[in-house]
Chains A and B, each alone.
Chain A
Amino acid sequence: MAGGSIPSTPLLKDELDIVIPTIRNLDFLEMWRPFFQQYHLIIVQDGDPSRTIKVPEGFDYELYNRNDINRILGPKASCISFKDSACRCFGYMVSKKKYIFTIDDDCFVAKDPSGKEINALEQHIKNLLSPSSPFFFNTLYDPYREGADFVRGYPFSLREGAPTAVSHGLWLNIPDYDAPTQLVKPLERNTRYVDAVLTIPKGTLFPMCGMNLAFNRELIGPAMYFGLMGDGQPIGRYDDMWAGWCTKVICDHLGLGVKTGLPYIWHSKASNPFVNLRKEYNGIYWQEEIIPFFQTAVLPKECTSVQKCYLELSKQVKAKLSKVDPYFDKLADAMVTWIEAWDELNPSGSAAAAVNGSAKK
């Protein structure tokens, strides 16, 4: 049975890192100060490393630019994208914490319908610390939320749920549309506050947006590779999508849960749809092949850790998607490089441990 209300959410300030990719500035942190100041930030500076990114006073942070990435990873740095926010996954790799929250630098604090400012980080923590329910859909959404529960007909044997690996938040104001949709509806704003968190059922894929995302790094970290995007690559704006499809397949295989819904952040900047179209162009066609690939991907029973699952996926990408474009061949290699780099920076211990699937309350 879903538990009673949690009186207060643990801060987890020593167990969570906030990863922020940036190429511009970090002014947005001022608005987040009341909610973020107690946490350690990992800033991944994209673009020109000679530029100085000013971090507002009072934040505890580590900052990595391209030179740092090259220095730390050596030749393996080739798997980290340049000139694309995909570079943020370097932050996941160097973190030593159990949880990651990542947010874009054009995302601000949103208000709920009562006018209250939303502590997005707190909601993500709530989502991650309570189980998911991927095996059977609960019509009242997250049964672990205060004021909700499992409905009549929900099998009791499934009410322990699965450990939550990912918490996917949403955005008010500028919605995360692709370029064609942006071009057709340039003025559409997301004004609908949907007061729900729900688990995406096992076997169902979704478009994972990296703008407002949190995950349990120990459970799923190695799957959060944001691919080869940006400079020198034929595709952009599919970094988080790629990570999301890999992550979901692996979560489904390992019995982990993915939640979506609250919290909302306020997305302030609409990127240029024409620029986006050029970046997404190949992706729009390729995803028609990529989606069936992920929908039919089967991981063998022997894949009992995230790394093993991920390496197996990279083999399947090479075998089945290379014919779509040679890019996937490169991507499959980069996936392997990523895991090698991950394991090097995170030698054995909890990050590489096999998941035993027990529900964490």
Chain B
Amino acid sequence: MSLDIDGSEVDVVIAALHPNLTTFLEEWRPILSRYHLIILKDPDMKEELQIPSGFDHQVYTKVDMEKVAGQTSINFSGHSSRYFGYLISCKKYIISIDDDCLPARDDQGFLVDAVAQHVTNLSTPATPFFFNTLYDPYRKGADFVRGYPFSLRNGVECVMSCGLWLNIADYDAPTQAVKPDERNLRYVDAVLTVPVRSMMPVSGINVAFRRDIVGPAFFPALRLAGEGKCRWETMEDIWCGMCAKLVCDHLGLGVKSGLPYVWRGHGVDGGDALESLKKEWEGVKLMEHVVPFFQSVRLPRTAVTAEDCVIKIAGMVREQLGPLDLVFKHAADAMEAWVKLWKAAAPQSQINS
């Protein structure tokens, strides 16, 4: 990676769902030591965090969350604690990685600098209006192919970078239950723009975004009744990701998917997928309602910022999905509460794209 990353523009946000972060941080040290880390302690965690020395970091706990957020419909427990990190950060780029992921090695055996790759993705244009068959045309050794319209070759600003996972992929509980031994060993050397109007599942395990542009669209809102600490017991990131994609599509901003990989497996609950299945089945059913809703959402031209868009979407969610399940009504409340919090806590985030 030859790009010069300005570390002062980056915050790395880590939700600590496990108290001992020693292995995690030691493995990431070569990559993370130059960045400021925002570490969120899961409000439900009783134990103290163990953090090795030598990292520029700040830990936020339940106390901080209550102080800043006050009485709010937003629940910051579990994986949702990372959103608090997004809220109090002032940086341009947020990189967010689950605490059960370690750096991956690429197909040449080199350690993948996930932060540098995310920042590269976010600082080169995206191409959502026409698919380039050689993937990201801005990567070294690639370009736009014959037949790609010239007027679209400037691309648009990329504001979301969705990374992937080697070893234990981000599968849902049913898939995990059926294929407990499957490991993702395929290193796909590509970054590509997810086209406009295409819906996608954004995983919170390894994600990065432009906080100054789409921060308001990264909210903790959809909380399953049986939400747990296992990733396959959550839908918060999927929900927020689908909304964020809508916002990006409406505002003419880009979303990339692909590199970087992280290696997922350390500390992941070998878990009981079948047990989780009972909890996550709720999420699976909810997705079926969600798809037609997202296919039909049209945002008004007057919505020109991420905040505007989120408020509009929240209203539509309450009206159209609220009657189907209480979880959606709560999500709409949380989305609105989030935008209020965002405006109060980070006034400089209101940048029109």
Give A residues with C-beta under 8 Å from B.
Answer: 1, 113, 135-141, 147-158, 168, 170, 175-178, 181, 185, 188-196, 198, 200-209, 237-238, 240-241, 244, 260, 280, 284, 287-288, 291
Query: Across the interface, do B188 and A194 meet the contact criterion of CB distance under 8 Å?
Result: yes
Q: Tell me whether A151 and B171 are in contact (CB under 8 A).
A: yes
CA distance in complex: A51, B146 (Å): 31
| CB pair B194 A148 closer than 8 Å | no
Asked if residues A200 and B131 are in contact (CB atoms below 8 Å), the reply is yes
Q: Per a CB cutoff under 8 Å, which of A141, A176, A192 touches B145?
A: A176
- In the complex where A155-B291, A177-B145, A195-B188 touch, is A190 in contact with B169 (Cβ < 8 A)? no
Chain A residues with CB under 8 A of B151: 288
State whether the Cβ of B254 lies closer than 8 Å to any Cβ in chain A: no
| Docked pose: A157 CA to B201 CA in angstroms | 14
The interface residues of chain B lying within 8 Å CB-to-CB of A155 are: 287-288, 290-291
Q: Sample 27 A-B pairs with CB under 8 A, ordered by A number.
A: A137-B257, A140-B164, A147-B186, A148-B186, A149-B175, A152-B171, A152-B172, A152-B232, A153-B202, A153-B203, A155-B291, A156-B288, A177-B144, A177-B145, A178-B145, A178-B146, A178-B148, A181-B146, A194-B135, A195-B186, A196-B190, A203-B195, A207-B147, A241-B146, A241-B147, A287-B150, A288-B150
- Are the C-beta atoms of A192 and B189 separated by less than 8 Å? yes
User: Among the listed A147, A188, A204, which residue makes an inter-chain contact with B143, where contact means beta carbons less than 8 Å apart?
Assistant: A188
* B128-174 interface with A by 8 A CB criterion: 130-135, 139, 141-152, 162, 164, 169-172, 174
Q: Are B203 and A139 in contact (CB under 8 A)?
A: yes
| Chain B residues, Cβ within 8 Å of A194 | 135, 188-190
| CB-based contact A141/B178 at 8 Å | no
B182 within 8 A of A: yes
> Does B198 contact A137, Cβ atoms closer than 8 Å?
yes
Alpha-carbon separation in the docked complex, A140 to B200 (Å): 11
User: Which residues of A are found within 8 Å of B144, using beta-carbon distances?
Assistant: 177-178, 181
CA A287 to CA B291, docked complex, whole Å: 33
Q: Are the CB atoms of B185 and A147 closer together than 8 Å?
A: yes
- Which of B147, B195, B238 is A153 in contact with, Cβ under 8 Å? B238
Instruction: Pick the residue among B133, B170, B182, B189 that contacts A151 (CB under 8 A).
Output: B170
Point out the residue from A138, A154, A192, A280 that lies within 8 Å of B141, measured CB to CB: A192
State the CA gap A344–B129 with chains docked (Å): 38
Interface pair B133/A157, CB less than 8 Å apart:
no
Rounded to whole Å, the gap between the CB of B143 and the closest CB of chain A is 5
CB distance from A284 to the nearest CB of B (A): 6
CB <8 Å contact, A152 and B231: yes
Contact residues in A for B244 (Cβ distance below 8 Å): none
Could you tell me the distance in whole angstroms from the C-beta of A167 to the nearest C-beta in chain B? 12
Cα separation A206 to B202 with both chains bound (whole Å): 23
The 9 closest A-B pairs by CB, nearest first: A207-B147, A153-B201, A153-B238, A201-B198, A206-B131, A137-B200, A204-B195, A241-B147, A152-B172
Is B182 in contact with A147, judged by CB distance below 8 angstroms? yes
Name which residue of chain B comes closest to A134, CB basis: B198
B179 at the interface (CB under 8 A from A): yes
The docked-state distance in angstroms from the alpha carbon of A202 to that of B198 is: 7
> For A185, what are the chain B residues with a Cβ–Cβ distance below 8 Å?
143
For A157, give the chain B residue with the smallest CB separation.
B288
* CB atoms of A147 and B184 under 8 A apart: yes
- Chain B 239-295 residues near chain A, CB threshold 8 A: 241, 257, 284, 287-288, 290-291
Q: Give A191 to B144 CA distance when docked, in angstroms.
A: 15
Q: Tell whether B325 is near chain A: CB-to-CB under 8 Å.
A: no
Residues of B within 8 Å of A135, CB to CB, are 199
Instruction: Answer yes or no: B64 CB below 8 A from chain A CBs.
Output: no
- What's the nearest-Cβ distance from chain A to residue B266, in Å? 19
Interface status of B107 (Cβ within 8 A of chain A): yes
Chain A residues whose C-beta falls within 8 Å of the C-beta of B200 in the assembled complex:
136-137, 139
Chain B nearest Cβ from A94, distance in angstroms: 27
The answer to whether B146 and A151 have CB atoms under 8 Å apart is: no
CB distance from A269 to the nearest CB of B (A): 15
B197 within 8 A of partner (CB): yes
Query: Which chain B residues border A192 with CB–CB below 8 Å?
Result: 139, 141-142, 189-190
Residues in chain A near residue B284, CB distance under 8 A: 156
Contact pick for A191, options B131, B141, B195, CB 8 Å: B141
- Tell me if B187 is interfacial: C-beta within 8 Å of chain A: yes
Contact partners of A193 in chain B: CB under 8 A: 189
A176 to B132, CA, bound (A): 11
Query: Does B235 lie at the interface of the complex (its beta carbon under 8 Å from any beta carbon of A)?
Result: yes
Closest to B143 in A: A181
Closest to A283 in B: B147
Q: Complex: how many Å from CA A228 to CA B192?
A: 32
Min distance, Cβ B168 to any Cβ of chain A, angstroms: 11
- Let me know if B238 and A204 touch, CB within 8 A: no
Return chain A residues, CB-CB under 8 Å to B188: 141, 194-196
Q: Is the CB of A188 within 8 A of B141?
A: yes
The complex places the Cα of A194 from the Cα of B232 at a distance, in Å, of 28
Q: Which residue of B lies closest to A245 (CB)?
A: B147
Answer whether A207 and B203 are a contact pair too, CB < 8 Å, given A136-B291, A139-B164, A156-B287.
no
